């Protein structure tokens, strides 16, 4: 299921939706001006792409990240916070003079640092497929182990008895 959204058009005090089948009667909805909302969406995308660019730049040149980069990114994040806070402020005018379309390669957005990603092939190749025989074997192993423990217990009991006799 994807996120439900529909475009619509204002007619008098009501709105006619293009995809009414997505909603249910009496459902609470939020209505945004389409142009402004797309602008807001693209604005935040632009900021995030900026952060990814800093990351990619450092990774490609193999330069370690420094405090300056961190401050730069946090500055950008501050802007995102502001954008999100101002979303419901009716007094805020959106600047429609330009519109950002992200043409960044998706490859830059992937996380390359997690160990699971790097060693996934090796890790997944080693997982066993569990069959009934394997389960049975496993139970047998447990029984054997319990048997061994039991034997050890008994032996220590015998030893104790021997030591008491002496």
Partner 1 sequence: MKVSQGVFFGRKVYLYHPEYFNEHEEVIIFTREEFRRMYQSMSAQMEQINRTYLTLDPGEEWRVIGVWFKIMESIHRLNLNLDDIFSNKPLQTYLDTYIHDTIDSPPMVLPSSLNEVVTPESLGVNWSR
Residues that bind partner 1 (CB under 8 A): 1-17, 20, 23-38, 40-41, 44-45, 48, 51-52, 55, 64-67, 69-70, 73-74, 77, 80-81, 84-90, 92, 94, 109, 111, 113
Which CB, 4 or 158, lies closer to partner 1?
4
C-beta of 98: minimal distance to partner 1 in Å? 17
C-beta of 60: minimal distance to partner 1 in Å? 15
Which CB, 113 or 127, lies closer to partner 1?
113
Which CB, 109 or 148, lies closer to partner 1?
109
Beta bridge partners of 46: none
| Helix locations, 62-131, DSSP H | 67-85, 115-125
Q: Which residue has the tokens 């990619």?
A: 56
Choose among 104, 99, 50: nearest CA to 79.
Answer: 50
Instruction: Decide: 122 and 116 in contact? Cβ < 8 Å.
Output: no
Cα-flanking dihedrals φ and ψ of residue 98, to 5°? Answer: -145, 165
C-beta of 123: minimal distance to partner 1 in Å? 20
Backbone angle region of 57, left / alpha / beta, with phi > 0 → left and psi within -120 to 50 → alpha: alpha
Which CB, 16 or 143, lies closer to partner 1?
16
C-beta of 87: minimal distance to partner 1 in Å? 6
């Amino acid at each position: 299921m994807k996120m439900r959204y529909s475009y619509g058009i204002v007619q008098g005090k009501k709105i006619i939706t293009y995809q009414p089948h997505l909603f249910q009667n009496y459902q609470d909805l939020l209505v945004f001006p389409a142009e402004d909302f797309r602008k807001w969406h693209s604005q935040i995308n632009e900021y995030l792409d900026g952060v990814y660019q800093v990351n990619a730049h450092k990774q490609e040149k193999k330069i370690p990240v420094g405090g300056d980069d961190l401050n730069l990114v946090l500055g950008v994040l501050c802007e995102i916070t502001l954008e999100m806070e101002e979303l419901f402020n009716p007094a805020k005018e959106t600047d429609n003079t330009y519109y950002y379309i992200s043409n960044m390669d998706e490859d830059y957005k992937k996380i390359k640092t997690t160990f699971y990603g790097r060693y996934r092939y090796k890790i997944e190749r080693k997982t066993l497929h569990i069959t009934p025989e394997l389960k049975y074997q496993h139970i047998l192993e447990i029984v054997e182990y319990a048997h061994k423990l039991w034997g050890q217990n008994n032996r220590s009991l015998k030893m104790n008895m021997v030591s008491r006799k002496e």
